[in-house]
Amino acid sequence: MSSAAAIAPATDLSEALGRTAAAIEALLGELLAPRVLPGEIHRPERLVAAMRHGALGGGKRLRPFLVVEAARLFGVPEASGLRAGAAVELAHCYSLVHDDLPAMDDDDTRRGRPTVHRAFDEATAILAGDALLTLAFDVMADPATCADGETRAAIVLGLARALGLGGMAGGQMLDLAAEARFSPDGVAQALDEAEILRLQAMKTGALLAGSVTIGARLGGADTAAMAAVERYGRALGAAFQVADDILDVEASPEEMGKATAKDGAKGKATLVAALGLDAARGARDRFSAEAIDALAGFGPEAAMLRAAAEFSARRRN
């Protein structure tokens, strides 16, 4: 599918996810081509290969799907929504490449394949992650994504806030601290429910919520609509992460495409560890319901976003 091809509205979430994933895959393939862009000097072959390994050929593409569907809700041309979605996915893939490194989660597989540092080496993986993140901002700031400069500035700022000190990177630091990485006695830090939810809202939820708000900002959503979309994004992000924690206990490595049962072994701060499986399932379902309720003011055009909230809670990988 051409990256500029229109994605017809779908009534089935699986079909809609698949169509968006195919369009995003094609666009990422173009963005990660060896072709040198104006202002660039050269694209090293090994670095391009590592970036493509980390970004292509797998994943649900949920974050770009949320961008595209939120943008659609506010009448944004699909080519613009797809480019913004691709930028978000590049940023997400950067986070996975770095999260898998030995200094972080030390994972050997991702999406059923060797992680980037295993397929290449640690130095190349670090550079690939750096380059994926930088390319994300390149795409988001490009007038080809949005002709209006003020809107481009707003979505670039939104992406930066989701990824940075008060978002994903800050959440990763809190996660490492909770594992006792910086504790002199090596004892894991016990977090209460509110602290765990804050950590997860930063580490995972911020980019999921940011995906929805970026789409809405592309469409010039008014204050009330933006507030509803933000509520939806925060609740969906919480449901997604609690579901992930539950899957780490219940799912197989084959289902997940990566190692499971690692959270407990590492002493990670999760709602499963803090509350138990039954209570965690209840929290997951409440967050999913909150996300759906947040879209009560929207009509059938928001059907796929509502379905995405259900999917985030019920997924098996």
pLDDT at 89: 98
Q: Structure tokens of 214?
A: 């970026």
pLDDT at 265: 54
Q: Structure tokens of 36?
A: 């040198």
- pLDDT tens digits, 241-254: 999 999 988 866 66
DSSP the chain: --TT------SSHHHHHHHHHHHHHHHHHHHTSSPPPTT-----HHHHHHHHHHHSS----HHHHHHHHHHHHTT--HHHHHHHHHHHHHHHHHHHHHHTSTTTT--SEETTEE-HHHHS-HHHHHHHHHHHHHHHHHHHHSTTT-S-HHHHHHHHHHHHHHHSTTSHHHHHHHHHHHTTTT-TT-PPPP--HHHHHHHHIIIIIHHHHHHHHHHHHHTT--HHHHHHHHHHHHHHHHHHHHHHHHHHHHS-HHHHTS--S-HHHHT---HHHHH-HHHHHHHHHHHHHHHHHHTTTS-GGGHHHHHHHHHHHH---
pLDDT at 2: 36
pLDDT band at residue 179, thresholds of 50, 70 and 90? confident
Mean pLDDT of the chain: 91
The residue ranking higher by pLDDT, 268 or 166, is: 166
pLDDT at 10: 56
Mean pLDDT computed over 299-304: 94
Q: Structure tokens of 111?
A: 């999406």
Mean pLDDT computed over 293-317: 92
pLDDT at 5: 43
9 pLDDT exceeds 90? no
pLDDT at 300: 93
Degrees, nearest 5: CA angle 281-286-292: 130
Q: Provide φ and ψ at 59, rounded to 5°.
A: 95, 155
- pLDDT tens digits, 76-99: 999 999 999 999 999 999 999 999
pLDDT at 183: 80
Q: What domains are there in the chain, each with its CATH number?
A: 13-314 (1.10.600.10)
- pLDDT tens digits, 269-292: 899 989 999 999 999 999 999 999
Dist CA 98 CA 175 (whole Å)? 14
206 pLDDT exceeds 60? yes
pLDDT at 295: 97
3 pLDDT exceeds 50? no
- pLDDT tens digits, 136-175: 999 999 999 999 999 999 999 999 999 999 999 999 999 9
Amino acid at 154: A
pLDDT at 98: 98
Smallest CA-to-CA distance from 298 within 233, 231, 225, 227 is with: 225
